[in-house]
């Protein structure tokens, strides 16, 4: 990923940290996944993310006035620049396409939305973002 400070392709997700998940720009304290790429496989990480999204959708479906799902974001603040740039820890970076595949996420969103009777209205360019 591009480092916003040195503009080099040197920004990397840290080996371990926390992933945050938001749906329709709503975040929950329980919508977090700890990860450690040195200890767990991508499949195990995907399983943990899927459980967290499932929990979020279950909660979201229980709301009286919920909108169709128009955005799902998975991001972390656990990253570093290989060139040693100091970046504010408050800046989030998306990990879709880095730690998990975009197609897997899209399929999971539709599968879980069907499970909970939620409408999905993602933009055409969701996989391109």
pLDDT digits (tens, 9 = 90+) for 24-64: 999 999 999 999 988 999 899 999 999 999 999 999 999 98
Residue 46 lies in a domain: yes
Mean pLDDT, range 81-104, rounded to an integer: 88
Predicted local confidence at residue 19, as pLDDT: 95
Residue 127 — very low, low, confident or very high, per pLDDT cuts 50/70/90? low
Predicted local confidence at residue 128, as pLDDT: 65
On the question of pLDDT at 69 being above 60, the answer is yes
Residue 4 lies in a domain: no
Residue 6 lies in a domain: no
CB of 40 within 8 A of CB of 106? no
Residue 21 lies in a domain: yes
Q: What's the CA angle centered on 113, arms 72 and 101, to 5 degrees? A: 45
Q: Retrieve residue 73's tokens.
A: 């974001």
Residue 124 lies in a domain: no
Residue 108 lies in a domain: yes
On the question of pLDDT at 113 being above 90, the answer is yes
Kindly list the distances between the CA atom of residue 94 and the CA atoms of 73, 78, 97, 119, in Å, as whole numbers in the listed order: 7, 11, 8, 23
Number of domains observed in the structure of the chain: 1
Predicted local confidence at residue 65, as pLDDT: 86
pTM: predicted TM-score of the whole model, two decimal places: 0.87
Residue 3 lies in a domain: no
Report the sign of the C-alpha dihedral through residues 19, 23, 26, 30, in that order: negative
Burial class for 91, CB neighbours closer than 10 Å (0-12, 13-18, 19+): exposed
Residue 107 lies in a domain: yes
Range of the domain at 81: 11-116
Predicted local confidence at residue 2, as pLDDT: 82
Mean pLDDT, range 106-119, rounded to an integer: 95
């Amino acid at each position: 990923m591009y480092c916003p400070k040195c503009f080099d392709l040197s920004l990397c997700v840290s080996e371990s940290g926390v992933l945050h998940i938001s749906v329709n720009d709503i975040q929950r304290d329980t919508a977090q996944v700890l990860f450690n790429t040195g200890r767990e496989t991508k499949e195990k990480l995907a399983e943990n993310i899927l459980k967290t999204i499932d929990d979020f959708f279950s909660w979201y479906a229980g709301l009286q006035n919920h909108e169709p799902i128009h955005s799902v974001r998975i991001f972390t603040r656990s990253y570093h620049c290989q060139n040693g740039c100091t970046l504010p820890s408050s800046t989030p970076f998306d990990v879709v396409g880095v730690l998990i595949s975009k197609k897997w996420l899209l399929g999971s969103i539709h599968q879980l939305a069907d499970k909970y009777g939620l409408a999905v209205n993602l933009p055409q360019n969701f996989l391109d973002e």
